Structure 1
Amino acid sequence: MSFTRVLKRWRRGVIIFSDLAIIIFTFYLAFWIRFLDEGFLFPKYFRIFKQDLPLVVIVYFISFLLFGLYRGLWRYASVNELIRILKAITVGALGVVVGMVFVLGLRDFPRSIFIIQPLLLLFALGLSRLGIRVYRRILPALTSGVSDYKQVILVGAGDAGEMMLREIQRHPQGGYKVVGFVDDDVKKINRDIHGVKILGPVNALPRIAKEKHVDEIIIAISSATREEMRRIIEVCSRTNLPYKTIPSLSDVVGGRVSFNQIRKVEARDLLSREVVKLDLERISHYVSGKKVLITGAGGSIGSELCRQLIRFNPQLLILFGRGEFSIYNIERELREKYSSIDVITVIGNIKDEKRTRFILGRYEPEVVFHTAAHKHVPLMEVNPCEAVKNNITGSRILMEAAEEYGVKHFVLISTDKAVNPASFMGASKRVAELLLQATAGQSKCRFSAVRFGNVLESRGSVIPLLKEQIEKGGPLMVTDSRVSRYFMTTSEAAQLVIQAGAMGKGGEIFVLDMGSPIKIIDLARDLIRLSGFEPEKDIKIEITGLRPGEKLCEELVAKNERTETTWHEKILLIKPNRMDVKELRERVTELEILAAEENIQGITKKIKEIVPEFNHQI
C-alpha cells in the first residue's frame, strides 16, 4: 500500500496526532520564548512544563472535539474553519487557566504563557490546515499523468465561475487548465480569482481566446437571463471554439448531477428558470409512507414524477402505463437508485374500465397522478374520437374508480391548450377539467388539476423535431413566424405538480408560472447556433403555415376564470367553477357514444355544447 493511500485511509487519525504534537510543541515553544533572555531559569521551569503538559493537552483536545475540528473536510478549509479554530483555541485557553487555578495552582507558573501559547497554536493550526489544502491541490497535479491540458476560459466571474475554477484546480486529472475569465462587470476586470485573471468583457472573448490560445469555453453563469444567454452563445459562436456550460442549479439541488459535470449548452439553458423552492414538509405529509399511482408513468412527465416522488419515500409506487418498454425503463432506473422502495409495474389502458377498477381495487392507492393522455394536436385533429376516448372517457373511468376505492388525492395533468381550445386535444382536456371540478364537488377525494404549457425535450414536442431536422441538414419547418409557446423543464414541471398536489382541497385548477412565451422561430435559430451553424446561412428556416388546431399563442388562464395567488410564487390558483354534475355527465355520456360511433361531426357539436369557447369549424 502506497504512502498516499495510507494517509487517505487514516487521515483523521493523522490530523489528530498532528494536532496533539502541535499542542505539545507550542506549549514548549512558549516557555522557550518566555525565557529566551533568561536561559539560566529554564531548567527550573522545564519541571513546571512537564507537570502541566498533560492538563494543557487534554483541555485543548476536548475543546477541539467540542468545536468539531475533526468533522469537516480540511481540503475545503476556508475562513469559517479558521474562525472555528479560533473559538476552539479561545475556549481551550480559558479552560487551561481554570485548570491551572483550581487543579494545579498558579505558583511559579509564568502568566505570559497563557497569551503566548494560544497565539502560537492559532498560527500553527492555521498553517497546518493551509498545508492540507495546498497538498490536496498540488498532489493531483503531480500524479494525474495529464501532460496535454485543454486551455479553457470561463465566462462569468461570479460565484458559479469561482466554484468551477476551484473544481478544475482540485481535479487536474480532468485535463482542463483555466487561463482566464471574461465578465461584463467592469469592476472585476484585471482583478483575479485564485490567481486567475479576469481578462475583459464577454464581447472581447473572440480576441482573448485567440491571444490565449484557448481550446474550449465554459459558460459558468447560473443566473443569466434568456437574452443574456443568447448573447453569450452568439459571442461564443464567433470564436469557432467548442463551448460548454455547467449544470443548472436545479439539477445539482435535485441530485441528478454534480457541479463539475460540464456539458454541452442545450435549449433548456436558454429558459433561465430559477431553482424551484419546495415545501418538503407539506409534500411529505401526503406522499411519504403512502401508496402512489402514476398513470402514463413511462412518458416524459410521468417518468419525471416517478423520479421526484420516490425521493419522498412512498410505501408503494405503482407505475401504470401502456408502453411496456418505457415502463420497463423507468422501473429499472428506479430500482437501481432506490432498491429499498417497493415499485410495481402495471401494463394497462385507462380506457379499459374493468382493468382500471381492478388495479385501483387491488393496490388501493391513496394518491393518484393522472398524466396519461393523447397530447399531439395534429394527430388528434385527424383522430378526434381517440382524443375523446382517451382524454375524456379514460379520465372519467379513473376518477370514478378513485372515488370508489378511497383515493385521498387525485391530480390531473392538464395543458394550456385547454384554455379557449382550438383543437380536439385541447377541448378534450378542458372537458376533463370540467369533469374533475364537478366530481370534486361531491367527493371526499381531493381532486385537483395542474395546467401548464410545453415541456422541453418531451417526446413529440417541437425541440426534438427541430433537432432532428438540424441533424439532417435542414430546413427547419416553422408554421408561422409569430407562433409562440410557453416552455419549462421537465423537472421543474414535475416538482411544481407535486407541490400543487399538496395544496389541493378539491376542485381547484392550479396554473404554473411558465415565464414569458418564446417564439418558435427564435428557438429554431438558437438551436441552429447551439449546433455550431448559422441560421439561414448554413441551415434554412421555412415557414409552412399553421396546422389544423394550432393557435398563434396559447393562454394559461381564460378571461372568465377567477384567479388567486398561493403561498408559492410559481403556482396560481383558479377557483372552482362547477357545472351541474348530472347535466355534465349526461352530455359526456352522449359524447362518448358519438366517439364510439366515430361520428366526428357529432362529437364536434357535443363538445361545443360542453365547452362553448371551443373554436373549431365543423
Structure 2
Amino acid sequence: MTYQKRLSLLIGVDSVIVLFSIYIGYFILHPYMDIYNSGTLFISSIALFISHHVFAWVYKLYQKAWEYASVRELVAIVKAVTLSIAVTAVVQTFAFQDIYIRVLLLTWMLHVLLIGGSRFSWRLYRDRFVAESDEKKRALIVGAGSGGSTVVRQLQHNETDLQPVAFVDDDERKQRLEIHGIIVEGTTADIPQVVEDKQIDNIIIAIPSLKRSEIQHIYDQCAKTKAKIQIMPMIEDVMTGRVSVSQFREVQVEDLLGREPVELDIESIAEYVTGRTVLVTGAGGSIGSEICRQIAVFHPKKLVLVGHGENSIYQIDMELRNRYQELIEIMPVIGDIQDRERMFNIMQEHQPDVVYHAAAHKHVPLMEYNPKEAVKNNIFGTKNVAEAAATAGVGKFVLISSDKAVNPTNIMGATKRVAEMVIQQLDKESKTSFVAVRFGNVLGSRGSVIPLFKKQIQAGGPVTVTHPHMTRYFMTIPEASRLVIQAGALARGGEIFVLDMGEPVKIVDLARNLITLSGYTIEEIGIQFSGLRPGEKMFEELLNENEVHSEQIFPKIHIGKAAQVEGELFYEFIASLNSKGPTILKKQLIEIANAKDGLRELMKEVASV
C-alpha cells in the first residue's frame, strides 16, 4: 500500500470513529438527560473532528508503522484523544456556557477503544496470521535477558526469515516465563531436546556478556544438534550503529578459543604514540598490519609502513589512507630488513620515536629446510633494524618474538631467541629502550594452522593433525597486537613481556571445532594424524623455569628477564655467523655448517645460553 492510500485510509477510519463516538455518546445519554439539541451536537462534533485530526497529526498517528505498535503508540493515541476532547470542552464552554462532561467522557472512552483497537488489530493480525503463514525458519534463542529479548523483538517486527519459537536460559527464575509471547523452555543443557521438540532450524546465541569458556559450553550443546548456530553481534557494534541486532554472524573459532580481551592502559599508550612518528617493519603481515590499525586509532603524527612485499604494503597503505588520511601522515616504504644500508637510510630519513619490528621468517618446518635464510632474516635483519634505530635515537624499540624461542628445538625458535639477545645487548649499550614480546600462536595469521584446516575442509578432508596430544597456546591477532602496543608503554628497557595465555588448546580439538563450525560432521571430513614435522614440539612454553616471574606487571602480562650472554663473546659469535670474525671462527663455522644439522645444532646451543 502506498503512503497516500495508507494516509487516506487512516484519516477516513478516524473520521468515522470520531463522529460515531460523539453521536453514540449523545444517543446513549439522551434518555437520561435532556441534552439533545441538533445545534449543540453539530458544533461539538465539528470541534472534535477538527481538533482530533490536528492532534493526530501532531502526535504522528498517521505516520506510525502500526504493525509494530507498542505501549509508546498507545500513549500517543491517549494524548491526541485527550487533547481533542479538552478542546471540544472549551468550545462548548464558549458556545453554550456549559460542558457536557458525561458525554465527553463516554466519547473519550469510545475514541481510545476504537482508535486503539483499529491500530492494534492490524498488529495482532500480522503477528498471528501473516508472520506465521510465511515460510520462516524456526529459531531457538539462547539467553532470555536483555539481549535475547531485543533479538526476539527485532525478529518479530522486522522482515526476516527467522521466527523465534523458544528461549533457553540458565536462570532458574526465568523458567517457563513468557517473554514477548515466547516461553523459556529450559536451560542450555536442554538445548538438544528443545531443538528436537520444537523442530528448530536455527539457534541464536544472544548473551552479549558471555565469557569465552561459556560460549564453548553452549556451543558444545548446540553442536549436538543439526541446527545452524549463529551469534548476535557485539553490543558495542550495535550501540555505535555499525550493525543491527538482527545481523547475526556465524560462530567463529575465535569465539571458542579466544580469551577475554586485555584492557589497555589508554593513557600510557597515547602518551608515547599520539603525535609521534611510529615505524612498523613487516607492516603488511598479519601482526604488523594489525599493529598499524590499532596504532592509527591513537593518531600518531606519522606512520611509516616498512615491508618487503609491495602488494601487502599497498593493501594496508590504502586501507589506512581511506580511514585516516586527513589525520595521519602515512608513508609506505618498500625495503628488505637484510639490506643494512637501506634500514639505516629509512631510520635517518623518518626519525621515528617508536619502532615495532614485526618482520620475520616464522614458518617452523619451512625454516628447518632453509636454516641460513632464518639466520639472515631473523638475526641479521633484526640486528640491522635495531642498530639503525639506536643510531637514529629511537625512543622505544619493540621486537615481536615467539614462544618458540623458549628452549628452542627448531631453527626458527633459535633465531628468535638470538634476536632477543641482540636487542637485550643493544639495550645495555644505547639510549633506546629495547624490549621483546613473546606470543603464542595467532589465530588466523598467515601460515597458521587455521587457514590450512579451512582449506582441507573445503576440499572435503581429511584434516591433518600431527599428533592427538599436541597442544598450543592461542590468541587472536587483535589481542596479540594490543599486547605489543601495551608493552611499548610498559617498557623500561631489556624486558621480555609475555601474555598470560591461559590453558593450552589441543590441536585436535581445534580441528573438530572448525569442522563443525563449517557445517560438517567429524565423520564426513575425517581427521588424520600425520606425526610431528621437523622442528616441532609436542608442547610449547612461554618462559622457561629460570625466567618465570609469578607477579604480573599489568593485567594478564608477565615480565621475564631472560639470561644474557657476555657481550664480547656474543658479538664474536654474531661476527662469525656473518663471516666477518677471526679466520679460525669462520673455519669452524664452515665445518659446522657443512656437517649434518651443524648450523642448527650450533644455533640451539647458543640460544640455550
> What range is the shorter-chain TM-score in?
0.7 to 0.9
- Selected match of 1:411 from 387, 394, 398: 398
Q: In 2, Cα distance between the equivalents of 1:241 and 1:585?
A: 61
- 1:534 to 2:526 alignment: no
Structure 2 match to 1:307: 293
Map 1:287-306 to 2 at 5 A.
Answer: 287-306=273-292
**1:608–1:242 CA distance, 2 compared to 1 (3 A):** closer
- Selected match of 2:370 from 383, 397, 407: 383
What amino acid maps onto 2:219 in structure 1? Answer: I
Q: In 2, Cα distance between the equivalents of 1:213 and 1:271?
A: 29
Q: In 2, Cα distance between the equivalents of 1:374 and 1:561?
A: 25
What amino acid maps onto 2:486 in structure 1? Answer: Q
- Selected match of 1:282 from 247, 250, 268: 268
Between stretches 190-199 and 526-535, larger displacement belongs to 190-199
**1:289–1:560 CA distance, 2 compared to 1 (3 A):** same
Structure 2 match to 1:59: none
- 1:325 to 2:311 alignment: yes
Task: State the Cα deviation string for residues 13-57 of structure 1 (Å, max 9, x = none).
Answer: xxxxxxxxxxxxxxxxxxxxxxxxxxxxxxxxxxxxxxxxxxxxx
Q: In 1, Cα distance between the equivalents of 2:214 and 2:484?
A: 29
Map 1:71-470 to 2 at 5 A.
Answer: 149-165=136-152, 168=155, 172-222=158-208, 224=210, 228-247=214-233, 260-340=246-326, 341-470=328-457
Q: In 2, Cα distance between the equivalents of 1:547 and 1:236?
A: 34
- Selected match of 2:600 from 601, 604, 614: 604
- 1:552 to 2:548 alignment: no
Contact kept? 2:264, 2:486, Cα under 8 Å: yes
**1:604–1:215 CA distance, 2 compared to 1 (3 A):** closer
2:400 is paired with a residue whose SS is: strand
What amino acid maps onto 2:445 in structure 1? Answer: S
Q: CA deviation at 1:384?
A: 0.4
Q: CA deviation at 1:398?
A: 0.4
TM-score when scaled to structure 1?
0.72
1:199 is paired with a residue whose SS is: coil
Gap runs ≥5 in structure 1 = 5-74, 79-130, 614-618
Task: State the Cα deviation string for residues 158-200 of structure 1 (Å, max 9, x = none).
Answer: 454345445546x614544432211233332112445533221
Structure 2 match to 1:505: 492
Q: In 2, Cα distance between the equivalents of 1:253 and 1:428?
A: 46
Q: In 2, Cα distance between the equivalents of 1:295 and 1:223?
A: 36
Q: In 1, Cα distance between the equivalents of 2:273 and 2:348?
A: 19
Please identify the structure whose Cα radius of gyration is greater.
Answer: 2
2:223 is paired with a residue whose SS is: helix
Contact kept? 1:229, 1:270, Cα under 8 Å: yes
Q: In 2, Cα distance between the equivalents of 1:342 and 1:392?
A: 30
Map 1:51-62 to 2 at 5 A.
Answer: none
Q: CA RMSD in A?
A: 3.4
**1:408–1:260 CA distance, 2 compared to 1 (3 A):** farther
Structure 2 match to 1:21: none
Q: In 1, Cα distance between the equivalents of 2:530 and 2:472?
A: 17
What amino acid maps onto 1:216 in structure 2? Answer: N
Structure 1 match to 2:54: none
Q: In 2, Cα distance between the equivalents of 1:400 and 1:515?
A: 35
Between stretches 597-606 and 394-403, larger displacement belongs to 597-606
1:389 is paired with a residue whose SS is: helix
Structure 2 match to 1:32: none
Q: CA deviation at 1:440?
A: 0.6
Map 1:32-71 to 2 at 5 A.
Answer: none
Q: CA deviation at 1:454?
A: 0.3
What amino acid maps onto 1:229 in structure 2? Answer: I
The alignment of Structure 1 onto Structure 2 pairs a total of residues equal to 485
Q: Indicate the percent of aligned positions where both proteins have the same amino acid.
A: 48
Task: State the Cα deviation string for residues 336-356 of structure 1 (Å, max 9, x = none).
Answer: 222322211111110111111
Q: In 1, Cα distance between the equivalents of 2:236 and 2:397?
A: 26
Q: CA deviation at 1:3?
A: 8.4
Q: CA deviation at 1:315?
A: 0.5
Gap runs ≥5 in structure 2 = 5-67, 72-115, 580-585
Task: State the Cα deviation string for residues 194-229 of structure 1 (Å, max 9, x = none).
Answer: 553322122433443344443321122345565643
Q: In 1, Cα distance between the equivalents of 2:238 and 2:426?
A: 40
Q: In 2, Cα distance between the equivalents of 1:216 and 1:153?
A: 6
Contact kept? 1:233, 1:530, Cα under 8 Å: no
**1:576–1:423 CA distance, 2 compared to 1 (3 A):** closer
Structure 2 match to 1:57: none
